[in-house]
């Protein structure tokens, strides 16, 4: 698969701290490889993510699939907060643009509590 032209190379990271259950949770998403097309309508973006709170942390790595040829493309992702010693699940809306993955929205369940 060929890399996409005009997309930033690996190494772009975004970081955000959200208040979840009155606890600061830091979320870092990094693009760790060259995004590439998977067919005409999809961009595959390799990433790592780190979630940390109260001295606990969790890592995630993989690939996210975004729509190609969009200024900003979005996907949904979930994070079980048990690894951070918090209850619930964080539902994230992730946006990909200009070589960065960033948290655009966050909802905590149970309770459907808007975090961002």
In this prediction, residue 11 carries a pLDDT of 56
Number of domains observed in the structure of the chain: 1
- The answer to whether position 79 is within a domain reads no
- Give me the domain span that covers residue 58: 13-73+95-104
In this prediction, residue 60 carries a pLDDT of 96
- The answer to whether position 100 is within a domain reads yes
| Digit-coded pLDDT (tens) for 73-109 | 999 999 999 999 999 999 999 999 988 999 999 999 9
3-class secondary structure, 38: coil
In this prediction, residue 88 carries a pLDDT of 97
CB burial class (10 A; 0-12, 13-18, 19+) of residue 20? buried
3-class secondary structure, 82: helix
| Digit-coded pLDDT (tens) for 3-57 | 333 333 345 899 999 999 999 999 999 999 999 988 889 999 999 999 999 999 9
- The answer to whether position 48 is within a domain reads yes
């Amino acid at each position: 698969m060929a890399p996409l032209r005009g997309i930033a190379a690996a190494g772009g990271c975004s970081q955000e701290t959200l208040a979840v259950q009155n606890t600061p949770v830091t979320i870092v998403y990094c693009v760790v490889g060259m995004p590439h097309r998977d067919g005409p309508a999809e961009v595959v973006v390799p990433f790592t993510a780190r979630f940390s709170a109260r001295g606990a942390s969790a890592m995630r790595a993989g690939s996210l699939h975004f729509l190609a040829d969009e200024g900003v493309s979005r996907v949904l992702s979930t994070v079980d907060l048990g690894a951070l010693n918090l209850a619930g699940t964080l539902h994230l809306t992730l946006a990909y643009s200009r070589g960065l993955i960033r948290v655009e929205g966050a909802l905590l369940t149970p309770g459907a509590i808007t975090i961002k």
